Chains A and B, each alone.
Chain A
Amino acid sequence: MQNNAGVKRREAFHPSPFKAALDKARPYLYLAPAALILFTFHLFPIVYGGFISLHQWGLKPGKMVGLQNYKLILADAEWWDSLLNTFYYVLTTVPLELGLGMLFAVLLFGKIKGRNLYRLSYFAPYITPLAAIGVVWGWVFNYNTGIINGVIRMLGGSAPRWLLEPTGILTLLGRFLGVKIPFGLEGPSLALVTISIVTVWHYVGFHTVIYLGGLTQIPKELFEAAKIDGANSFRVFRHIILPILSPTTLFLSVVGTIGAFQSITLIYVMTGMGWGGAGASGHPLGTTRVALLYIFEYFFTYTQTGYAMAGAILLFFIILFLSLLQMKVAGRRVFYLGEGD
C-alpha cells in the first residue's frame, strides 16, 4: 500500500482527516468478512432458535407458548441425565486429550528419526471418517468376538461388556475391589467410557498438532540458555515448555470442551446402529445419550422443534458460561511470550 516510509512517518505524526477516519474504521474493516459470515450463518440460527423455542413448533410455526418448552424440558429427568452424561463425557475426554496431546507433541517436536512418519500416524485417526472407524472400534470392543476381550479371556479374566454395559464404571470398579459404591456415585457407564476412549483416540492428533504449533513459538535461545544452566529435561519441561504452552492449553481446553459438548457422530455410529432406527440411540439404557443427542432426538426423530430448540438454547448458554469461566479462571495464569519482559 505505502512503500514510502518517509511519507508514512509524516502521516503518523500529522494524520490527515482521511487517515484518521481510516484508522478508526480499520479494526471494523478487518473484522467485517468474518463478522458477516459468522453472524449470518452461526449466530442468526441461535437467535432464530430462541424464537422457535417460545412456540409450539413441529414442522411449521405453531402458537406462541412462552416459556412452556423450557418448563417441560427442565422437568424431564432424562434431560438432566443427558446433561450428566455430557459432563462425564467431557471429563473423561478433554483432560486426557490435553495430557496425551502435549506428551505426543513434546516427543514429536525435536529431531528424531522417522519423525514425519510418526507424526502422520498420530494424526491419521483425526482424519478418518467416523462411520468407517466407528465400525472398526465396534469390532475391537465387541463383547463376544472383540480382540480386547479375546486377550482378557486368554489371560483368564472375566470379559467386560463394553458398549453393551450400562453399569457405572465406579460401580464396576467397586465390585472388582469388593467396595460398595453408594447411589449417585456410579460414574459414567462403561459404554460411555468406551466411547470416550475412542473419542480420545480420534481427537488426540488434533491436540498434538496444535501443541506442535505452540512449541514452534519457543525461541531456540531459551533452550540453549537452559542447557548452559544445566537444567535437566524435566526442569526444562516444567519451567519453560509448560508455561509457554499455557495459552495453547487454555485454548485447547476451551475448544476441546466445546467440541466434546457437540460431538455426537461417534456415539451415534457406535451405539445407534440397532435395527429399527428411531429412538435407538443412546444405548444401552440411555447411558450414552448426551445432551446434544437428546436434542437431536427431539428435533429430528420426534419432530418437536420448539422443545428441541429450548434444549439447544439451554445447552448454548451452558457451553458459553463454561468457556467464559475457563478463560476467566485460567486466563490469569496464562503466560504470553509477548507480555512482560
Chain B
Amino acid sequence: MSKKSIVLIGILSLLLTAFFGAAAAADSPTVLRLWHLQAGPLGTALEELVEDFNSQHPGIEVRPEFMGDATALHQKIMAAIAANDPPELAQVAETYAANYIAEDVLLPIENFFDGPNGLSAEDRADLVPTALKIATYDLEGRDTVVVWPFNISLEVMFYNPEMLAEAGLAVPSTWDEFNDVVRSLHLDNERWGYAWTPDVVLFINLLRSHGGRLFNDDLSEAAFNDEIGLEVMNYLVELVDNGTMITNGFDWQFELINERAALATNTIVSKAYIEADLGDRFELGVAPIPAGSKRSAVVWGSAFGIFQVDDEKSRAAWEFLKWIGKTEQVARWSAVSGYLPTRYSAFEDPLIKEQMEVNAALRVGLETLEFAQPEPNFVAWPQIRSAISNAVNAVALGLMTPEQALRDAAQKTNRILLMAN
C-alpha cells in the first residue's frame, strides 16, 4: 500500500466517522425506561401499545421492562433511588405513590397540564374525575395531580342469578336486602349466602355508605370508632351469623364458581378470572355494590409516574403519557385488560361500545364511577389499613367484640398518626 492511499483512507475514515457520528447523534432517540407491573397477556398488550408509540415518535424510544408485582417493583424503585438512577417512567401502585411523593422523587404531572404541550379544555372535561382523584395527592397542603391514571378498578357485587331466581329473590341493591339474601340462601354446611375474605374494603364501603368516616378532617385522629363504626361492625357479625363463608385469599372465587355461595364483593377485574374458571356452570351476574343511606364503592388504580429527570426526558415522558391517555389508546387498553377507561370518550369508542352491549360489568362500572371513592392515600395509610384489617378479621372470626376491636384499631391508628405527624 502506498503512503498516499494510507492518507486517503485515513481522511476518508475520519470523514465517515464524523458523518455517522453526527448522524447517530441526531438520530439517537431519547430513551425512556418504563418499569411496569403488567404480567402475561396484559404485559404483551402494553408492549404492543408502546411499540405503536415508538413507531409514531421517532425521537423517543420507550422501553417497557416488566418488574413483577407491586412489592417487587417498589423494591426496585427503592434500590434505584438509592443508586441515584431511577427510571424515567414507572407504573406506581397507590400504596407506594404517597411515599414517592413525600420524598419528592416524582415530577407532578399537573406541571405539564398548562404547558405548551398541555391538555385542552376538552381533554380535561373528558377525564373521569374519579380517575384523577386516585392520581391526586396532598402536595404541601395543595391537592395536586401527581401521576397519570392508567388502570382503574372498583368494587362491584358478583352474584349467581340462578340461585337468586330459584329462591325468588331480587338482586340486592341495599345492604339490608343483601343481608336478607344471605340469610335466605344459607343452608347449613352446604350453601352460603356470601363468600368473603375478611378485609378492610368491605368495612370502608359500609362505613362510607352509612355516612361514616375513617378520619377526622385534619387527619390527626381515627373517626371510625363511633356509632356508625359500631353499627358497621355489628352488621358484619350479623352477616357472618346469617350465612357468610369466611374464605382465604382468592378462595371466594371457587365458592362462587361451584355454586356454594351466591354473592361476593370484589374488584371488577376479578370477573375475567371467575369466568375463565366458570365453564358453563352459570352466567355470572355483576351489579353495583349495595347502598346504605347513600351509595359508595371503593375504587383503586395504578398510574404512571415521571421520576425527577432532566427537562428533555421529562418532556418526552409527558409526550408518552399524553399519548397513552388518548381516547384510542385508553379504549384499546381497557378492552384487553378489563380495567375501566379513564376517559368518558373511550366509553363511546366502538371498541368499548361493542363490549358494553354484551358486558354488563362495564355498564355497572360506568355507573359506579360516579360515586366511587378511593382509599385514603397518605404515607401512613398502609399501616393503618393493616390495623383495621386485623380488627375486621377478629370480629369476623368471633375473637373480639365489635366494641373491643374498634377501640383497639382506633388506638393503634391514633398512635400511627401521631408518629407520622
Contacts and interface: CB of A to CB of B under 8 A. Distances in A.
A318 B249 CA distance: 32
Contacts of A279: 382-383, 385-386, 389
Interface of A: 58-60, 138, 142-145, 163-164, 166-167, 271, 273-280, 283-286, 297, 300-303, 305
27 contacts: A58-B102, A58-B103, A59-B82, A59-B100, A60-B105, A142-B248, A144-B255, A145-B251, A166-B397, A271-B248, A273-B248, A273-B250, A274-B199, A274-B248, A275-B199, A275-B250, A277-B71, A278-B385, A279-B385, A279-B389, A300-B75, A301-B382, A302-B380, A302-B382, A303-B74, A303-B78, A303-B99
Interface string B385-415: 1100110011001010000000000000000
Contacts of A145: 251, 254-255, 258
Nearest to B258: A145
Interface of B: 70-71, 74-75, 78, 81-82, 93, 95-96, 99-100, 102-103, 105, 197, 199-201, 245-251, 254-255, 258, 260, 266-267, 379-380, 382-383, 385-386, 389-390, 393-394, 397, 399
A163 B248 contact: yes
A142 B71 CA distance: 26
A284 B105 contact: no
Contacts of B102: 58
Contacts of B266: 275
Given A280-B199, A301-B95, A164 B254 contact: no
B305 to A, nearest CB: 13
Contacts of A138: 248-249, 251
A278 B95 contact: yes
A305 B82 CA distance: 11
Given A166-B397, A275-B201, A301-B382, A285 B390 contact: yes
Nearest to A144: B245
A164 B71 contact: no
A285 B393 contact: yes
A10 to B, nearest CB: 55
Contact of B78 (A59, A273, A280, A285): A59
A161 B99 CA distance: 37
Nearest to B415: A76
Contacts of A274: 197, 199, 248-249
B355 to A, nearest CB: 24
Contacts of A302: 380, 382-383
B78 A300 contact: yes
Given A59-B103, A274-B197, A280-B199, A164 B248 contact: yes
A47 to B, nearest CB: 15
Given A145-B254, A166-B399, A276 B383 contact: no
A281 to B, nearest CB: 9
Given A285-B393, A285-B397, 7 more contacts: A59-B100, A145-B255, A279-B389, A297-B386, A300-B71, A303-B78, A303-B99
Across the A-B interface, give the 4 residue pairs with the lowest CB-CB distance, nearest first. A279-B386, A273-B249, A278-B382, A303-B99
A277 B78 contact: no
Contacts of B255: 144-145
Contacts of B389: 276, 279-280
Given A144-B260, A277-B93, A284 B247 contact: no
A300 B74 contact: yes
A276 B380 CA distance: 16
Q: Residue among A144, A271, A280, A301 with the most chain B CB within 10 A?
A: A144
B150 to A, nearest CB: 17
Q: Residue among B105, B197, B248, B386 with the most chain A CB within 10 A?
A: B248
A129 to B, nearest CB: 14
